[in-house]
Amino acid sequence: MLDFRIETFLAVCQTMNFTKAAELLHITQPAVSNHIHALERQYGVKLFQYEGKQLSLTGPGRLFWQTAATMHHDARHLCDSLRELDGRRHLRFGATLTIGEYSMPGSLLRLLEFEPDAGVQMLVANTAELLRLLDQGGIDFAIVEGFFPKRAYDSLPYSTERYVPVCAPGYRFASDALRLEDLLEERLFIREPGSGTREVLERVLEERNLTVGDFRQTVELGSLDAIKTMVCAGAGISFFFQPAVQAELQMGRLREIPLNDFAVTHDFTFLWRKGSVFAPYYKETFALLKDGKLSMPDIAR
């Protein structure tokens, strides 16, 4: 549905290599070059530039990508909608791990009570991966705990959650744990780079001129359950959004570490491509997932 030259432009943006873009599109490299040059002539701007041997977007190229990515996303959403004219809502979205595992089940139950025949496809991944999929049209919207560039996405706050340090009930600290810096002597269990749970901690530490590398030892695990198992066993400490450890805190398998200088909250955010013509649909879906109803006096439809 999109101009084939814009499809070529997006493929070059994805690979930052004309030859790899040609392979991705199953066309020749000269054809890719011709498509890009045609767009540059049409709009009167340079879209790409070389910095040494590295291809990069120019300022106009970045602006062009923002619009082209949204157009591509909307075109895919429209095609899916046309194929699914069966009267049912079809959700194809992503959620970060904490949200997907601990927040979305309740939201999806409310949705299915309101619309029992709705189709749901939820992908769970870290924030960086979900933004990549959103840009490429692999999902329609995402609910994330991590940070994102606001110039590229429209968003609504889904919920605000406490971010808490935890340990096993009988865990012994190297010294009195009264402040965040006192925890640096402990072993820290943490998610992989790109995880929203990790990024929040990194930003809190950065405000105090610290990094995760300042902890005595860090152990990276890609599973929240694995991290909780290790912390429950007394092997170290970690930081979680409260919904992810609420059950363990209530059962006494974990306890919150009461620091004098640590009171952190962070928004879980519902987002979609900025400027999408389907914004009213995404706002309606937001209300269904958040409240289980369509009444939204505070949201422009």
> What count of other Cβ atoms lies within 10 Å of the Cβ of residue 65?
18
Q: Per mean pLDDT, which range of 66-75, 150-159, 192-201, 287-296 is the poorest?
A: 287-296
pTM attached to this predicted model: 0.72
Instruction: Report, as an integer, the average pLDDT of 160-172.
Output: 96
pLDDT digits (tens, 9 = 90+) for 176-227: 999 999 999 999 999 999 888 999 999 999 999 999 999 999 999 999 999 9
Structure tokens at 26: 């199953």
Average pLDDT for the chain: 89
User: Domain 82-159+267-291 sits in which CATH superfamily?
Assistant: Periplasmic binding protein-like II (3.40.190.10)
pLDDT above 90 coverage of the chain, percent = 58
Write down the pLDDT at residue 88.
73
Distance CA 155, CA 268 (A): 10
Split at pLDDT 50, 70, 90, the class of 80 is: low
User: Does the domain made of 4-64 have the CATH classification 2.60.120.380?
Assistant: no
Split at pLDDT 50, 70, 90, the class of 301 is: very low
- Per-residue pLDDT for 52 more than 90? no
- Per-residue pLDDT for 298 more than 90? no
Bridge partners of 157, per DSSP, are 269
Distance CA 295, CA 288 (A): 9
Domain locations along the chain: 4-64, 82-159+267-291, 160-266
Q: What contacts 105, CB < 8 A, 6 or more positions away?
A: none
Write down the pLDDT at residue 83.
56
Q: How far is CA 183 from the centre of its chain?
A: 28
pLDDT digits (tens, 9 = 90+) for 233-269: 999 999 999 999 999 999 999 999 999 999 999 999 9
Structure tokens at 118: 């709705």
Give CA separation, 27 vs 7, 16, 31, 39, 166, in Å.
12, 16, 7, 17, 54
**Per CATH, the architecture of 160-266 is what?**
3-Layer(aba) Sandwich (3.40)
Split at pLDDT 50, 70, 90, the class of 2 is: low
- Per-residue pLDDT for 87 more than 90? no
Closest CA to 58 of 70, 67, 45, 68: 45
82-159+267-291 against 160-266: fold identical: yes
Split at pLDDT 50, 70, 90, the class of 297 is: very low
- Per-residue pLDDT for 299 more than 50? no
Closest CA to 142 of 185, 96, 190: 96
Say which residue, 236 or 68, is predicted with more confidence: 236
